[in-house]
Chain A
Amino acid sequence: MATTAIETPSTPKEKVRDWTKPAAMAIPKEGYLSLQNGRYGPVYPRTPACHGFTIIAKIKPGREDAIRAYGRTIEKAIEDMPDALATLKLHYLRWILFDIGKDTYFMYQGIFDTDFDKYTEDAVALFKKVGVNTVFENLEGFPEDWKTNVPAFVKFVREHQRPSFLEYGEYPYATADEIKKALKLKAAFGNMLDLMQ
């Protein structure tokens, strides 16, 4: 297996994206439209709802309170250091706990603008710095040596990633940076108009 050549097409050019036209994309079960390999495995596509992942993993018994308590820790960390997660080019994070039978599961959904495969090591370094690890360490099967073993961390994430089969964007493909620029521009124009009164 190790010596088998990987058949992947060269990077297809993205079409010109029209943010004014809401768009939906149906995604095959494997999570991508055509196989394109990144450094750690298949690359998931940028959809009208940007890049993202949905990681679902069972938590270790009795750890629910610890995970919930961690929500407040992250809230405080971002208050103190608002750009702590800037590297990840995020739009949104959603952390959810839910039960199936007697088991409790953790869902970590992120919407962001970078291809996760490209910046995996940066994310791991950041998780360590901000302390997201505390949450992950409450998940069953999470590699204990994840701090020094990035490939094991990546394997865990990939094994627990559940690809969407549909994603929708009301303003498709707009990046967080573009949105922030647009809002800044709006504010700047507002100020300019005020000055012209």
Chain B
Amino acid sequence: MGILQQSQEIPGVLTVTSDSLDLEDLQHFLMSRPPARAARYEFLHFQSGTGGRAWLAGLIDKVGTAKTVGADIVDSRWVTVGFTWNGLRALGLDETSLATFPEEFRQGMAARAPILGITGANHPDHWVGGLESPSLHAISILFARDVAERERCRQEHERYLEKCDGVGLLSALDLEAIPPFDYAHEHFGYRDRLSQPVIEGSGEVPTPGSGPPVKAGEFFLGYPDEDGPASGMPQPQTLSRNGSYVAYLRMEEHVGAFRDFLKEHGETPEQQEWVAAKLMGRWRSGAPLVLTPDKDDPRLGADYSRNNDFNYGTMDPRGYGCPLGAHTRRMNPRDTAANMNRRKMIRRGGTYGPPLPEGAPEDGVERGIAAFVGCASLVRQFEFAMNVWANDPNFHELGNERDPIFGTHDGTFDMTIPMRPIRKKITGLPAFTTIRGGAYFFLPGIRALRYLVSLTDGG
């Protein structure tokens, strides 16, 4: 699930070859991944429509479009803005338009939490930063080349907010990539960003095994999707065209508990790595278990021409390599699930909090991943992934399991590791992660941002 904003080895900024995507109007966020090592998310509240619109009016020119961010322009910070349904209302969008947004977006993530399996310790009652509140209206996402640039932008936005009457900061989260910086990884140490969809028309070439590019309409409103022309778009069209939905999740990673678990279930470092790999479906190096089930192969893990080139149905149908319930097999079942081209999502985000040094005891400091999942339909894409892949105990008929890394855990679920002659079953899996906040945002296109600025109070 985790994603980092680091540039070193991912084929970098996109070369856009198609004129079918309206690059000048699309926010860059889901289209390109700029070389950022720091980020800041600010969660905002509009006390008045006038204030919100004034804030947005001054910010539009700073929002990175797919055209500018994809054009090799030397830049060191990238801005994205999004709104909750309550935020659109606060900006003055009329009730008729508000009603055309899909039900799940109108309700918001906090209200949908039980459907997503976000219960128990993950429930919105325990969230931080006010994200469960109807007062959450907008997010400004800043990615910066480094921490110094992030600081400069933070201060600039702080000064700007002071000048905008009627816009308040609910909370904020600072993020930094964690060392070593030469590859994307999260606090547990797993290599990340190995399997991401490629948008048709983006010019990007999928890595071997990643499948064909996905129609733009799976991520951006107003374009044909994998099922043909899209329908049921929010109105007016100016508002929805080139927009996307993103689901935000702040997920704390309990690194101490994770390492203790590995030690409990593996006597030697090699055995511990094996357990870590079985939970994830890949070795921490990124090497997929399907391709190298018995021992790690870091060169394979780092080789993008090979590290995603496998399936489950014919290469590992019973899960002797990658367990049926492993994180990667749940969140991307590849050829063992139907309708996969309608379930693709684009992930963005990064790590927050200091890394826990190897060998150090749990220090109680919150650290984790704060990520966005971008799509055209939250209910069909993101909510399906949460409801079924992450948290359905009976996924693949496993009976009493959830995603071992990302699912909601209370110590009563299991993890089955198929082995010959007899499978290994770990009972009472602890929670390695806790959801500390989340929200649904709409990321409008640039014209739609201008449309929002043009609104008036009372519609």
Contact = CB atoms under 8 A, between A and B. Distances in A.
Interface string B29-70: 000000000000000000000000000000000000000000
Given A13-B412, A39-B104, A121 B380 contact: yes
A149 interface: yes
Interface string A102-144: 0000000000010100110110011000000000000000000
B387 interface: yes
Given A2-B107, A6-B115, A10-B119, A125 B339 contact: yes
Contacts of A177: 397
A37 B104 CA distance: 12
A1 B108 CA distance: 12
A181 to B, nearest CB: 10
What class of interface size applies to chain B in its complex with A? Answer: 35 or more
Contacts of B106: 2-3
B393 A11 contact: yes
A115 B103 CA distance: 21
B264 interface: no
A87 B340 CA distance: 12
B339 A122 contact: yes
Contacts, number: 88
A39, A147, A149 interface centre (most CB from chain B within 10 Å): A39
Interface string B113-141: 01101011000000000000010000000
B357 interface: no
B110 to A, nearest CB: 7
B115 A87 contact: no
Given A3-B108, A121-B380, A147-B227, A10 B114 contact: yes
A121 B342 CA distance: 9
A126 B231 contact: no
B265 to A, nearest CB: 23
A14 to B, nearest CB: 8
Nearest to A152: B232
Contacts of B285: none
B364 to A, nearest CB: 26
Interface of B: 85-86, 102-104, 106-108, 110-112, 114-115, 117, 119-120, 134, 227-232, 338-339, 342, 379-380, 383-384, 387-388, 391-394, 397, 400, 408, 412
Given A126-B338, A151-B379, 15 more contacts: A4-B107, A4-B111, A6-B114, A6-B115, A8-B114, A10-B114, A10-B120, A14-B393, A14-B394, A87-B338, A115-B392, A121-B380, A125-B342, A148-B229, A149-B232
